[in-house]
Amino acid sequence: MTEKVLGVILGGGQGSRLSPLTQTRSKPAVPIAGKYRLVDIPISNCLNSGIHRMFVLTQFNSASLNKHIKNTYHFSHFSDAFVDILAAEQTPDNPTWFQGTADAVRQTMHHLLNHEFEYVLILSGDQLYQMDFNEMLEEHIRNEAQISLATIPVTAKDATDFGILKANDENVITSFIEKPAAELLKDWSSDTGEAMQAEGRNFLASMGIYIFNKDLLISIFAENADEKDFGKEIIPRVIETYKVLSFQYEGYWTDIGNISSFFEANLGLTDDIPKFNLFDSNHSIFTRPRMLPPSKILGTTLDKTVIAEGCILQADDIRHTVIGIRSRIGKGTRVENAYIMGSDMYQTLEEIQQETDLGNPLIGIGERCVISNAILDKNCKIGNDVHIQGGPHLANGDFSTYAVKDGIVVVKKGATIPDGTRI
């Protein structure tokens, strides 16, 4: 049945809440887990579900994302599989850029219609989860639904950040509200099952994952050309007219909406049994294959740490940390509660000697540093004796080489932090 499905992955807008990680790249291109990009998650979920035809819709800061997809997803010449970029384009009919999720799909629909399909699977490019879309598709077809929404039970605290819905005994959605105020929640609780209710997850939230029948989607776009967004405009309207099904998902899912959720999702990978399982062979995460050497560790004490390939670690102590590709950490350094994204290149011995002679920091983290509650973006140069210690004592702010958000220090991509700096 998946051969009748076309996947559409939304590349997202400016991603300002994830800044400064999105200053030079789109949200789906942000590195995660030390070696992947966020866009690898929905693409991998599709591939693991047997959905091999995908479009990724991009607009803001898309060069890095385009390059990653071009270098990563190659298929046999004898297969119809593809992962293609559809960038926002101005045409005589559409002189504007994408104005929202629905507008992005509407503006690219003429490209989609060049392919044979019956169902459109619409996904976000900035969520972390492992899901078999076959189960959702089977429910959609079995119930003769026209639209299906993946939904997840959430707590009252989280409910105000999502589209909340109610469904009848046949899982048909009867009402929907986008980001309800806390005082309205008493009227929006649902029977989410004993296990979910025991965790206080009494509200059904839309995950931003949709299945549309192709002909219906074309019809919906024709009905009201002014509607720009699925969650805010189209879904609340169509539940009155069409059969819209709720598919309840109870696995791990998180929306990477801001720095704190991004930080928490990455550090969660260091748990003994993480909620997001990178070691599940049935839900492999695919990414760009790199011909990197194994990581080398010299005299470092490690605990609850995930280390990508190609690293050289001489630190004294690394705890509760994710170490990205090609990371270099010098002697005497201590790292805790951090995500070190690594770098895009190695410096040669000649370059290292030249920079050392000039007194310049090298790519990576120098000697005798203390790093905690921090994210170091790619290609940072952290000098010797640098202390970067995030926490609630720091006020939010955006500075030339770093930013502080919710007590987390984010060192910007390619930033140089001189010897002896204290943050």
Least confident of 94-103, 180-189, 283-292: 94-103
Write the CATH number of the domain with boundaries 290-417.
2.160.10.10
Q: What does the pLDDT read at residue 14?
A: 63
Q: Which residue has the tokens 């994204």?
A: 341
For 111, half-sphere exposure in the C-beta direction (CA atoms, 13 angstrom radius) is 18
Report residue 24 as tokens: 């030079």
Q: What does the pLDDT read at residue 35?
A: 95
Q: Per-domain residue ranges for the chain?
A: 2-270, 290-417
- Distance, CA of 269 to CA of 235 (rounded, Å): 34
Q: What does the pLDDT read at residue 310?
A: 97
Q: How confident is the model at residue 229 (pLDDT cuts 50, 70, 90)?
A: confident
Cα separations in angstroms, 333 against 314, 316, 368, 382: 8, 5, 4, 11
Q: pLDDT digit string (tens) for 94-131?
A: 666 666 788 788 888 888 889 899 999 999 988 999 99
Residues 367 and 332: beta-carbon distance below 8 Å: yes
Topology match between the domains 2-270 and 290-417: no
- Distance, CA of 172 to CA of 54 (rounded, Å): 28
* Per-residue DSSP letter, 422: B
Residue % of the chain over a pLDDT of 70: 96
Report residue 294 as tokens: 């194994």
Q: pLDDT digit string (tens) for 317-372?
A: 999 999 999 999 999 999 999 999 999 999 999 999 999 989 899 999 999 999 99
- Distance, CA of 11 to CA of 84 (rounded, Å): 12
**297 bridge partner residues:** 313
Task: Assess whether pLDDT exceeds 90 at residue 195.
Answer: no
CA angle 396, 401, 406 (to 5 degrees): 20
- Cis check: omega of the bond before 236, within 30 degrees of 0: no
Report residue 175 as tokens: 């009402």
C-alpha 349, offset from chain centre: 36
> Counting beta carbons within 10 angstroms of the beta carbon of residue 22, is it exposed (0 to 12), middle (13 to 18) or buried (19 or more)?
buried
DSSP of 287-345, one letter per residue? ------PPPEESS-EEEEEEE-TT-EE--SEEEEEEE-TT-EE-TT-EEEEEEE---S-
Q: How confident is the model at residue 197 (pLDDT cuts 50, 70, 90)?
A: confident
* Residue-averaged pLDDT of the chain: 90
According to DSSP, the β-strands at 296-297 and 312-313 are parallel
Q: Which pTM does this prediction carry?
A: 0.93
Cα separations in angstroms, 385 against 366, 369, 391: 7, 5, 19
Inter-axis angle of helices 214-223 and 101-112, nearest 10: 120
Residues 225 and 129: beta-carbon distance below 8 Å: no
Phi, psi of 318 (to 5 degrees): -135, 125
Cα separations in angstroms, 287 against 1, 159, 333: 26, 32, 30
Q: Residues of 347-381 as b/e, b for ≥16 C-beta within 10 angstroms?
A: beeeeeeeeeeeeebbbbbbbbbbbbbbbbbbbbb
CA angle 212, 217, 219 (to 5 degrees): 145
- Distance, CA of 202 to CA of 61 (rounded, Å): 38
Q: Which amino acid is at 143?
A: N
Instruction: Quote the CATH superfamily of domain 2-270.
Output: Spore Coat Polysaccharide Biosynthesis Protein SpsA; Chain A (3.90.550.10)
Residues 308 and 35: beta-carbon distance below 8 Å: yes
Q: What does the pLDDT read at residue 184?
A: 86
Q: What does the pLDDT read at residue 183?
A: 86
